[in-house]
Amino acid sequence: MKFSAPVLFLFAVVYASGVANAGILELDKISDVIINARKVWNGNSVDDLMNSDRIPYFCKMAVNYGDLNNATIKTLDEDLQVIIAATINLFKKKYGNSGRMEFVDYVHALKSNPFLKTEITDNIYRGEYEDFHEYDSQRQQLAKNEYDLITTWIKDTLIKDDEALKDTTFNKIDFKNIVAATNAAFDHFQRFEGMLVNKPYVQSAIVDLSVIRYPDSKQSYFKLFRIQIFATKTSSSDPVRDVQSTSGVRGSFESIVFRPQNLVIDGLNAVVREKALKTAQSMFSDS
């Protein structure tokens, strides 16, 4: 009996490792990452945080399982269970070969999965910049409205994706922290302006979060996204003209959706399909 390449792929990733566990790469839930970030904020001053090398909101990769749990995974559409099984085992294989995975590695891994497909319209990249400050008397006036300005810019200009915003688990506390960190960075730029005179552009990272969102009963696809936000300062190298120095916020949002490749999934034989379902349904079992 001959098998197609996708079937052999699933044999390799499922049979080679037996039944996979969701904690395979020990990815933190994004909700836990955000909660821990809030705890760090509560235990440190904004200035101390921004003077350290720590990015206030950071993770190389976190996971959001949506409404999936040990019970709901068993009632999930079987095609979605198949792509989950293939994907978590593929991640295990990729991670085992390298010992580390960055955002781009997850992108490559998902793109190499024959049970998934992505369309051009499912790939989004946005890079945005907003000038919020001039180093003059207007600054105090602008600061009063800064929370609304920055949060609106993040939500409506940079991300523009209600699903992704929800999946970050951000709330008002987090946006206040992001605004506070941005202001602290602006203060730092101004305080050390003399040392930065020969640097026409400087930046300080505020947010760098990567998230993989699993399919669930409400969302029939994987979504991989990354959010980066920086406080920035641009200035003239001419001290006489440095009144034109400005500070602002720069960010990028990258999102890729991976949907089931149903034609390939439908071609699986019963044995391989059953093995994949068992793998998916055990993903929340204790290791």
Residue 54: per-residue pLDDT = 83
Domain extents for the chain? 5-13+20-281
- Predicted local distance difference test score (pLDDT) of residue 42: 87
Higher pLDDT, 44 or 34: 34
Q: For residue 5, is pLDDT > 80?
A: no
pLDDT band at 50 (very low <50, low <70, confident <90, very high): confident
- Taking the model in full, what pTM does it have? 0.85
**DSSP 8-class letter at 157:** I
Alpha-carbon distance 189 to 198, whole Å? 13
Decide if 41 contacts 56 (C-beta within 8 A): yes
Contact 116, 259 (CB under 8 A): yes
Provide, rounded to the nearest whole percent, the portion of the chain with pLDDT above 70.
78
Q: Which band of pLDDT confidence, cut at 50, 70 and 90, is reported for residue 278?
A: very high
List, in order, residues 6 or more apart from 182 with CB less than 8 Å away: 146, 150, 206, 231, 249
Mean pLDDT of 188-209: 74
Asked whether the predicted pLDDT for residue 82 surpasses 90, the reply is: yes
The string of pLDDT tens digits covering residues 92-135 is 888 776 667 889 999 999 999 999 999 999 999 999 998 865 54
- Averaged over 26-47, what is the pLDDT? 89
